[in-house]
Amino acid sequence: MDHGARIPSGLTLDAFNIQQFRESSEATLARLEKHLADASIRGLELTEPAQLTRAARSLMTTEREHVAGYDEAKLNAIIDLYLKTGIQVHSPGYMGRQFSGTFPLAGVVDFVSSLVSQPSSFYEAAQLPNVVEKIMADEFNRFIGWPAGSFAMVTTSGGSLANLTAILAARNDRVPGSWSEGGAADHGRGRPALAVGADVHYSVSRTAGVMGIGEAQLVRLPLNRRHQIDVDRVVPELEAAQRRGLRVFCLVASAGTTSVSAFDPLRELAEITRERGIWLHVDGAHGASLLVSDELRWKLDGIDGADSLTWDAHKMMFTPAPCTMLFYRDKDKSRSPFHQWASYVFDEEPDVYTALDSGGKTLECTKRPMIMPLWVLWAMYGRALFAEKIEYLCRLTRDVHRILLAEPDFETTHWPEANILCFRYRPGALSDSEAHRLQIAIRDRVKARGTFFISKVDIAGPPPCAWCS
């Protein structure tokens, strides 16, 4: 006898109960409110992994056969553990990494996105996010400077994925046949290669491996004293690469490098790449946000000459991660990274609705509506909210730089171009190797105390130093 589908138990239905939703939301909100209101100096209190594993397991139900009931005390304990064991990005003790605390309203919108669950790769599944993506593309292009209607923007889950997607577009455009023929598409014109600054983000090097280009085909361009790509040495390096049998199809410049936030000379690089038929991609994951500031926009002079641009909103636009925007100067190129067909998502007859679909332009089929927190902030507060916060962080970093210059036992390694500053403590006549070990020892001690969080980095020139943002 066919009894049909088994009816869910009452406890299963309770998991969708509206009153329970309100109670759990209010309990969590109360803890988040307390967390944000805590102005104490906190950094990162590391917990031994085995200890944290035991704590997490102790909060899991032991019920294996039936649905366990809702336990508010257990939920509160989970939220408390979550908040305690993370980097305290809203605390004065947090000075590391490339991201700041998010605007609280952005978290509220992200909460809504999690609940309504609208995969945003296709218009029919997420109408407002797709419209908003187009609106924000137009808003930000006011600072990039491409002709209206000529460009395109698509959101991706992180700058690494955006860089990979842009370089795929560059390869498919500059090395025709690559998608279908692979390496056979070279046609004797040389091995496809990437030109990058010596300080380029590791995601670009990773892309070379993922795409099968190979790290041996990375042409690493020398840097000048300001840690920028040295324009005077670019052409000789490209010509030397050509003599080695390499065909550079894309040059990746940085607008805010990870180590020191250096901005490559984009206008000069755009001229060089344009003359040689090379795609210019700008990794502005960190520094592109300076475009919204009248005071700082000049650091990206020449960005309108780029073929593509990566821009992370979860770094200097203070939204939840991930939220990355990938811009193309030529909107037709936005469809070149991927070539595929699937009847269950792509339409044979495009219309006004499918025109906003991004599923064919990104690696993701299911994609969070990551643009929503950014758009709501922009819609509610406008550009000035972001400009003032960015300018404050950059000004604060310059103030720290000035203070350190006056301290005889400290040294800085560069002028802060944005909100990243590398410095180190070097008392007396320490050798480079001694200074190196001292920085590591200091950071480990600071990290162990849990009061401050300071990052570290190896940069060209002096040994490793700390950097803060």
Of residues 468 and 352, more confidence is placed in: 352
Instruction: Say if residue 106's pLDDT is above 70.
Output: yes
Minimal CA–CA distance to 287: which of 409, 407, 400, 159? 159
Distance between CA atoms of 412 and 421, rounded to whole angstroms?
Answer: 8
Q: How distant, in Å, are the alpha carbons of 92, 194, 205, 275 from that of 235?
A: 45, 14, 21, 11
Cβ 218 vs Cβ 208: under 8 Å:
yes
Which two tokens mark 79? 């939220």
Cβ 152 vs Cβ 329: under 8 Å:
no
- Is there a single domain that holds both residue 339 and residue 422? no
Minimal CA–CA distance to 171: which of 140, 204, 201? 204
Mean pLDDT (whole number) for 437-451: 86
Domain-embedded: residue 105 = no
- Is there a single domain that holds both residue 402 and residue 340? no
Distance between CA atoms of 223 and 302, rounded to whole angstroms?
Answer: 19
Q: How distant, in Å, are the alpha carbons of 248, 301, 424 from that of 277?
A: 9, 21, 42
**203-223: burial string, b at 16+ Cβ within 10 Å, e else:** bbbebbeebebeeebbbbbeb
Instruction: Say if residue 79's pLDDT is above 90.
Output: yes
pLDDT grade for 56, boundaries at 50, 70 and 90: very high
pLDDT on residue 190 = 85
Domain-embedded: residue 184 = yes
Distance between CA atoms of 42 and 94, rounded to whole angstroms?
Answer: 7
- Is there a single domain that holds both residue 441 and residue 424? yes
H helices of 211-355, in order, are 234-243, 266-276, 313-316
pLDDT on residue 363 = 81
Which two tokens mark 14? 């309770």
- What sign does the dihedral 157-159-162-164 (CA atoms) show? negative
Domain-embedded: residue 100 = no
Question: What is the residue-averaged pLDDT of the chain?
Answer: 89
- Is there a single domain that holds both residue 434 and residue 451? yes
- Is there a single domain that holds both residue 192 and residue 123? yes
Cβ 109 vs Cβ 372: under 8 Å:
yes
- Is there a single domain that holds both residue 215 and residue 317? yes
- Is there a single domain that holds both residue 324 and residue 408? no
Is 0.85 topped by the overall pTM? yes
- Is there a single domain that holds both residue 162 and residue 174? yes
- Is there a single domain that holds both residue 348 and residue 207? yes
Minimal CA–CA distance to 427: which of 417, 416, 415, 439? 439
3-state SS assignment for residue 246: strand
pLDDT on residue 464 = 43
Cβ 43 vs Cβ 88: under 8 Å:
yes
Distance between CA atoms of 237 and 234, rounded to whole angstroms?
Answer: 5
pLDDT one-digit tens code per residue, 184-243: 556 567 899 999 999 888 888 888 888 888 888 999 999 999 999 999 999 999 999 999
- Is there a single domain that holds both residue 347 and residue 235? yes
Distance between CA atoms of 166 and 362, rounded to whole angstroms?
Answer: 10
- Is there a single domain that holds both residue 224 and residue 299? yes
pLDDT grade for 346, boundaries at 50, 70 and 90: low
Instruction: Say if residue 377's pLDDT is above 70.
Output: yes
Domain-embedded: residue 4 = no
Among the candidates 71, 87, 103, a domain finishes at 87
The CA-CA-CA angle for residues 371, 203, 235, to 5°, reads 110
Instruction: Say if residue 361's pLDDT is above 90.
Output: no
- Is there a single domain that holds both residue 343 and residue 412? no
Mean pLDDT (whole number) for 30-49: 91
Domain-embedded: residue 102 = no
- In single-letter form, the type of residue at position 327 comes to F
Among the candidates 313, 347, 381, a domain finishes at 381
pLDDT one-digit tens code per residue, 254-277: 999 988 999 999 999 999 999 999
User: How many percent of the chain have pLDDT more than 90?
Assistant: 62
Domain of residue 29: give its range.
Answer: 10-87
pLDDT grade for 347, boundaries at 50, 70 and 90: low
pLDDT on residue 183 = 65
